[in-house]
Structure 1
Amino acid sequence: MTMGMEQSLSRDEQLMADRLRSADTSDVVWRSGNRRNSWDVAVLRRAFGRSSDEFCRGQRGPKPAVDDIALIHGIRSNFGAAVRAAAVADQVAGGGSGLSAAGQMMLFGLDSLVRAETFYRIDGAVSPSNTALFGLLRWRHAQGTPWPEVVSGAYREELPEPTGWLIGDSRMFEHIDRDEVCDAALAKFAERQAFGSFRRPINDARTPSAILRTIGLATWADDPEEVFAQAAANALLTHGHPDAYLSAGAFAVIIGTLLAGGDFGDAVEIVREELVKWPSPGNVGRALEAGRAAEPGRLAELAAPGAAPNALAVAVAVAQARFGDFEAAVGLANQLLPDSTALAGAMLAAAGGDAVVPAHWLDGLGLADVIDRLVDDVVASRVGLPGRTWQRTWAQDYPSF
């Protein structure tokens, strides 16, 4: 860090920098072997609430790249499996009646991630959280809210109807499962164009319903800090409590680490490195550590009171304890805390691929064709597939907004 950069810090921020520099902390050496500092200026400003929403706005410039060979391979081979496993497990938790609100938002989140590529290629802006906001608004419309009540003012003039192929599929309107927290948060956008951010939390919700939809952001970048920040920004759109948005950041990093070939120990260590860069990380950090170290006979202790960190902890614990048995893992997660079921399924398949999911479960997956298309398009847009990458013609099915 240069002297000029240090002088840009406030007194409190400088004290924090000195404290972190002098602390006996060992950075995790991951993939490239490069050590990452946990006390740079951007991190300090975020911790103190200054410039903390920079990652939420549309930035001009290069988009984070995925260059790590292991991660590219993992995204191509196992990302689709992780999404399918999450959807299968989500159906199990719902008694087979269709995807829950969290599962549906996952699909709209994947759609929005491809739209973020359109936004970048055509408009030059890097803003997955902005496209994610409108994806959530389309989800709210699919839940039965008329479009004029979803958007208002100038936004309604620009978007008189929802756009894109996913919202045009009538099946997205068939299963209604309103999430009260998300619905109430998104209603504020129609009322006064308000949406959640770090500096202006939309509420103090700490429920788990914002976690699953960030699965696609595991493909966003090589750098766990980028992945964590974007997943947190996504969750902040509807959940203002650190327990919720930090759990979302942790989940996306865990999925990315598993895709790249890491194990659960690696994943939790990397998440711990990211959590210290944010204020109020204690509950999530303690829950994750409890999940990693939980004894098989004491897993039920992780579930109460059912908040986002509990769902994350149960998912980690169950996925480790039943690593070779998807059915047993999903069944146990559903028994302990239903909101953890899809998270555990995603983790297992991110590590093991489609082979870990029983074929007869995949055969019963609803919206399988929709899920497969979304997954293929996310992978193609992020790291490319043989003969398939993002093309300008995609803007018809995946317009920016």
Structure 2
Amino acid sequence: MGATAGAVWGRGEQQDFRSRVRGTLLGVAAGDALGAPVDGLSLEAIREAHGAEGLVGPVPAYGRRGTVTHLTQLSLFGVDGLIRAQVRRDTGAWHPPSDVHRAYRRWSATQSDWGPDERRKDDGWLAREEWLYARRDPARACLLGLADGIMGTLDAPKNPGEPGPEAAARSAPFGLLVGWEPQLAMQLAVECAAQTHGHPSAYLTAGAYAVAVHALARGENPDAAVQQTLALLSVRPGHQPVAAALQHALGAVRQGAPSPARVEELARSGAAEGPLAAAVYCVLVGEDVRHALCLSVNHGGPSAVTGALTGGLLGALHGETALPPAWLAELEGRPTVLVLADDFAMEMTQGPALHGPAGSSPGWLARYPRA
């Protein structure tokens, strides 16, 4: 697996990229937190609890407003793994799926440990963030897939019968590898999804989502992002359900005013591909970011997943400043998300100045150990 290397970034390009990275990760978290309180509820139950318009802003889940689920937690550890992969590249060890798998395993420890283990010096700074040591209804496939040190691969995937959408909902970070060709970002997302979700619908949906985020983060419009995704999917064995779901989303855009019923019909059709289709639909028909996010969670399907997928796409498209500031102000772990996003942007645009033959920053290597 390779990537485009040696690109020179201008200051304006760096600032734009950082905004899109921040927007993507904050968008995933904001959509996740918005959908978490109503996840699994019927539309009727949502309206009964929150009024005729349904959910129009954050409400409490897990004890307070703005709390995120395991979808955001895993997304953040995925970013950590990608940074570590770049740092380790100096040593000649270049296998990003393994670095991401180790990062996911560090997340797995947060689901059973009481708090950070200071004896594990090689865990890096993210694993020492105490707020991440919270069990937020993690998908069984994630727990089982990461329960041992054996990494699932496409040849021997973990949970081969699991078609759920959770792997896709943690795959936005792969799309932020904008220096990579999109097919390589897709391949990495697919391989890392197979570590917990081995069904083709699950890992190909993760790859499709990464391509869509990648296109948006590089400045494409949503329609072009979907077309690029469909083109790259077409050469993948087993792609038909995912491609059909995306085509269904495009067709739904032309079927009148947006409605929760249409979002629910998309989100609950098929397996992992359904929530992705619903997220794409919400991005295409939303009047603005707030409307698109609310549309994505007011239905009887998997609201947290659909919200996270929609938020990641919107953040990659518009950058951080388009997200509702009042929602971000209450978002759990926002300082951590921002620091991690900025570290990722700095590593991807200025990595050689942080570590390499000319010298390394001890502080950076303490944050992202090579071990």
Q: TM-score range by the shorter chain?
A: 0.7 to 0.9
Question: 3-state DSSP class of the match of 2:123?
Answer: coil
For residue 91 of structure 1, the aligned residue among 8, 26, 33 is 33
Match of 1:171 in 2: 131
TM-score in terms of structure 2 length: 0.80
* Number of equivalent positions: 323
Task: Tell whether the 8 Å contact from 1:231 to 1:252 is kept in structure 2 after alignment.
Answer: yes
Provide the rounded CA distance (Å) in 1 between the counterparts of 2:353 and 2:329. Answer: 26
Match of 1:77 in 2: 19
Match of 1:251 in 2: 209
Match of 1:214 in 2: 171
Task: Tell whether the 8 Å contact from 1:290 to 1:313 is kept in structure 2 after alignment.
Answer: yes
My pick for the range that moved more, 66-75 or 111-120, is 66-75
Match of 1:307 in 2: 271
Pairwise CA distance, 1:67: 4.0
For residue 363 of structure 1, the aligned residue among 329, 334, 346 is 329
Provide the rounded CA distance (Å) in 1 between the counterparts of 2:143 and 2:270. Answer: 19
Pairwise CA distance, 1:212: 2.6
Pairwise CA distance, 1:230: 0.8
Pairwise CA distance, 1:127: 1.7
Provide the rounded CA distance (Å) in 1 between the counterparts of 2:322 and 2:221. Answer: 16
Q: Does residue 344 of the first structure (1) align with residue 310 of the second (2)?
A: yes
Provide the rounded CA distance (Å) in 2 between the counterparts of 1:66 and 1:302. Answer: 41
Provide the rounded CA distance (Å) in 1 between the counterparts of 2:6 and 2:169. Answer: 21
Provide the rounded CA distance (Å) in 1 between the counterparts of 2:197 and 2:113. Answer: 20
Deviations 1:61-85 (A, max 9, x none): x643384979866423312111111
TM-score in terms of structure 1 length: 0.74
Provide the rounded CA distance (Å) in 2 between the counterparts of 1:199 and 1:71. Answer: 38
For residue 92 of structure 2, the aligned residue among 119, 124, 128 is 124
Question: 3-state DSSP class of the match of 1:81?
Answer: helix
For residue 283 of structure 2, the aligned residue among 313, 319, 322 is 319
Task: Tell whether the 8 Å contact from 1:99 to 1:175 is kept in structure 2 after alignment.
Answer: no
Matched letter for residue 205 of structure 2:
S
Match of 1:196 in 2: 152
Deviations 1:24-71 (A, max 9, x none): xxxxxxxxxxxxxxxxxxxxxxxxxxxxxxx4xxxxxx6433849798
Provide the rounded CA distance (Å) in 1 between the counterparts of 2:368 and 2:279. Answer: 32
Matched letter for residue 303 of structure 1:
A
Question: 3-state DSSP class of the match of 1:216?
Answer: helix
Provide the rounded CA distance (Å) in 2 between the counterparts of 1:162 and 1:400. Answer: 8
Deviations 1:358-389 (A, max 9, x none): 1111111111111011000111111239x975
Pairwise CA distance, 1:392: 4.0
Q: Does residue 186 of the first structure (1) align with residue 152 of the second (2)?
A: no
The runs of 5 or more residues in structure 2 that have no matched partner are 38-60
The structure showing larger relative contact order (alpha-carbon pairs under 8 Å, at least 6 residues apart) is 2
Provide the rounded CA distance (Å) in 2 between the counterparts of 1:348 and 1:64. Answer: 25
The within-5 A match list for 1:47-86 is: 55=1, 63-65=3-5, 67=7, 74-86=16-28
Deviations 1:158-177 (A, max 9, x none): x9676111111222113443
Matched letter for residue 169 of structure 1:
E
Structure 1's 64 and 236: CA in aligned 2 closer, same or farther, altered over 3 A? Answer: farther
Deviations 1:247-292 (A, max 9, x none): 1111111111111111121111111121122110001101111112
Task: Tell whether the 8 Å contact from 1:202 to 1:237 is kept in structure 2 after alignment.
Answer: yes
Task: Tell whether the 8 Å contact from 1:302 to 1:310 is kept in structure 2 after alignment.
Answer: yes
Identity of aligned pairs, percent? 28
The runs of 5 or more residues in structure 1 that have no matched partner are 1-54, 56-61, 148-158
